[in-house]
A = this chain, B = another copy of it.
């Protein structure tokens, strides 16, 4: 019989002995690396209009790529409303994540940028829960959904295909969309698709951040059935001999299954 893991069990798995992320509330102690005291961290948030965020993210993508689009439309928009301590913050820093980091096709820049924005406003378990919510939604939602008033790379009546990525990796997400649409990876239509996807991710994240600001954020998405299946063994100390106790919170389920066959 399949064991159902609660969200708390799932999250605590990552912070077990030797776990990945240490220093849950280390934010303010860690930010004062300069000779003068830094502003308290995480930084303040102000509720965002979800539709305006999507529009800004869409436009931002064409300025400096997908990670910048997600990050600037969220953190930059808040910064523009609040002024200090955001005034000198270099939002263009996030441009490095375009195309899965310098076009390497690893983590989708929309995911990386949204996660970085969440981290601007939250630390510790709330940060992890919010990011996880974005990543799980991304993997399990046919994207893009957003339709801009004035498309940049396609005609207004273009029928945009939507696809399920089942992964947060740029390469796989784009390949799945290319398969669904019949369009090439290096086409204007694909660039348009990514800009719309960035808008969707930013809008979804803005809504989560708004809920968190109102004290109304409650994790909704459960783990994918594939990942839950992994945890049946891996979280319970039952690795087979010479098989590593793998991390089951892997987002790329296709690769993961293939990888298991290989090892």
Is A153 an interface residue, CB under 8 A from the partner?
A: yes
- Comparing A21-29, A46-54, A143-151, A214-222, the segment that makes contact with chain B is A21-29
Contact flag A22-B64 (CB < 8 Å), given A33-B91, A87-B35, A105-B250: yes
Q: How large is the interface on A (under 10, 10 to 19, 20 to 34, 35 or more residues)?
A: 35 or more
Interface residues of A in 80-128 (CB under 8 A from B): 80, 83, 85-107, 109, 111-112, 115-116, 118-120, 123, 127-128
CB-based nearest B residue for A183: B244
CB neighbours (8 Å) of A79 from chain B are: 33-34
* Selected contact of A103 from candidates B19, B118, B171, B189, CB within 8 Å: B19
Contact flag A250-B104 (CB < 8 Å), given A92-B30, A95-B26: yes
Is A76 an interface residue, CB under 8 A from the partner?
A: yes
User: Oligomeric state, in number of copies?
Assistant: 2
Known: A17-B188, A33-B79, A35-B83. 15 other contacts (CB 8 A): A14-B102, A19-B99, A20-B100, A23-B62, A23-B64, A30-B72, A43-B90, A99-B247, A103-B247, A106-B169, A175-B263, A178-B245, A179-B263, A185-B247, A254-B255
CB neighbours (8 Å) of A168 from chain B are: 101, 104, 106
CB neighbours (8 Å) of A174 from chain B are: 244, 246-247
